[in-house]
Amino acid sequence: MKTRHLLLILALFLCGCGGCTSAQSGATAQSPASVQTLLPLRLGEVAISAQLALSRQEQARGLMFRTELADGEGMLFAYKAPQRMSYWMNNVPIGLDIGFFDAQGTLVEIRHMLPNDTRSVPSARDDMQYALEMAAGWYARAGIKPGARLDMGLLINALKARGASPSEYGLK
């Protein structure tokens, strides 16, 4: 638990220092955060911490083999273009809820996923750009419903913290 708190504090520090540079060399003073780093995000009025899966490999692994997920922690999958999404729970021994978001960060639908279920859970629409996996029941407990919006400013900061260009994801 201490490690998660330290990672969150580090992520907040790194996001806040996104423009910091070395005075002598002019080089950026930080390395990109890894997929394991919890980054601060906000969904509606609710603050969350999420890992950010960007590469195909990170997205394929997702939350496999995780035996617990703290309340308010999850994984955000970001794609460079809107699409129909489909997820499964192979090697994920905990129940999850997944929210599908459009390119503007609006939550369109929430689906429940059963532990170790290898059946696909697809989005209903083909214009989804982000998916957020959280512990089963989290969306209901947090009062989050379709129509809630991701804070795109914090998403831009998270993408930058991971070393990604927000413009590749249609963000400025």
CA–CA distance, 69 with 95 (Å, rounded to integer): 10
pLDDT in tens, 46-90: 999 999 999 999 999 999 999 999 999 999 999 999 999 999 999
- Which runs of consecutive H residues, i.e. helices, occur in 17-76? 56-61
Task: Return the CATH number at 94.
Answer: 2.60.120.1140
Q: Residue 9: its pLDDT value, please?
A: 42
Residue 4 pLDDT: 45
- Residue ranges of alpha helices (H) inside 18-142 are 56-61, 138-142
What is the radius of gyration, based on Cα positions, of the chain? 16
Q: What does the pLDDT read at residue 7?
A: 40
The reported pLDDT for the residue numbered 29 is 57
pLDDT above 90 covers a percentage of the chain that reads 82
Tally DSSP H helices, then E strands, for the chain: 4, 8
Structural domains in the chain (count):
1
Domain that holds residue 81: 2-169
Which residue ranges of the chain lie beneath pLDDT 50?
Answer: 1-28
